[in-house]
Amino acid sequence: MSNPIFTGAAVALVTPMKPDGSVNYEKLDELIEFQIAGQTDAIVACGTTGEASTLSHEEHLNVIRHTVNKVAGRVPVIAGTGSNSTETAIYLSVEAEKAGADALLLVTPYYNKATQKGLIEHFVKTAEAVKIPVILYNVPSRTGCNIQPATVKAIAEKAPNVVAIKEACGDISQIALLASIMPEDFAIYSGNDDQIVPILSLGGLGVISVLSNIAPRQTHDIVASFLEGDVKKSRKLQLEAIDVIKSLFCEVNPIPVKTALDLMGMNAGPLRLPLTEMDETNVARLKKSLINYGLEVSSNQVIKFNDLTND
């Protein structure tokens, strides 16, 4: 497949919640419009940042359908449909394709920690169930399982619609090896906001980003500047974002990014347990980072994430 799913910065979009813990579709519409106005290059629905692991299958698919309908073709919509159960991953992937998703993001099976052979069979069977493009998602810090470069190559050879990977292994040497053995039209996207420029330098095409939730234009510009040949500007923008990126990951994602959206007056709402409200010391750190990065903080109040009894 010669054309990449996207080039630039895709947002790993949060799933906004109402105070009672249900999905807030009106707020989701607002966040989607904020992203498109900020030049985001694609939208990922129901990834890690979207709290997919605590959504029911019905909610999961409804968020994907709603996102596809609201975006209405303005940018690609990538549906997170991975699971540690191959049967579940196939079900979600088939339904996301029916809903009109442009591509799928399949996370490595978690908890049961498949062998490399198991990973090949899992991803190939899931990809064969659909016709749309598939992005693998390698995040061993969360899944306890690392997709080795040779395994990525084997998967892509067996399933031609596996055309990209979101790499969040954090190991630049591993990503360099991956880039060296994959065809040029296989897209590598950074899965870590602090490694956008290093991965672009190895031939990457962009990032699937948490930072983009609060700074879509700035994240887009990091990639666009590099790909336009202005490496110095891209590096400058990357380094300017490092402090706020560190604050966005000072507690487990998506706790800080939802807190940041609340601090910016965008009211993403509560998270679902076992995710809890952010420590006050970390909130102060995050608020300072947002201000230093030039983002407007419009509220001193952060929604109490697990106080779900309030209207």
| Positions in the chain whose pLDDT score sits under 70 | 1-2, 299-311
Q: Is residue 30 in a domain? A: yes
Domain span holding position 128: 8-231
Give the pLDDT confidence of 32-64 residue by residue, as tens digits. Answer: 999 999 999 999 999 999 999 999 999 999 999
Fill in the amino acid letter for 54: T
**Residue 165: beta bridge partners?**
136, 188
Q: What is the pLDDT of residue 298?
A: 80
Q: Is residue 130 in a domain? A: yes
Q: What is the pLDDT of residue 66?
A: 98
Q: Are 93 and 129 in contact (CB under 8 A)?
A: yes
Distance CA 200, CA 118 (A): 30
Q: Is residue 1 in a domain? A: no
Give the pLDDT confidence of 112-166 residue by residue, as tens digits. Answer: 889 999 999 999 999 999 999 999 999 998 889 999 999 999 999 999 999 999 9
Q: Are 305 and 270 in contact (CB under 8 A)?
A: yes
Fill in the amino acid letter for 62: N
Q: Is residue 277 in a domain? A: no
Specify the CATH number for the domain of residue 154.
Answer: 3.20.20.70
Q: Are 99 and 65 in contact (CB under 8 A)?
A: yes
> What is the count of structural domains for the chain?
1
Cα angle 134, 71, 185; round to 5: 30
Residue with tokens 């060296």: 180
DSSP state of 272: P
Q: Is residue 92 in a domain? A: yes
SS3 for 299? coil
Q: What is the pLDDT of residue 304?
A: 43
Residues noted as catalytic: 137, 166
Q: Is residue 275 in a domain? A: no
Q: Is residue 270 in a domain? A: no
Q: Is residue 93 in a domain? A: yes
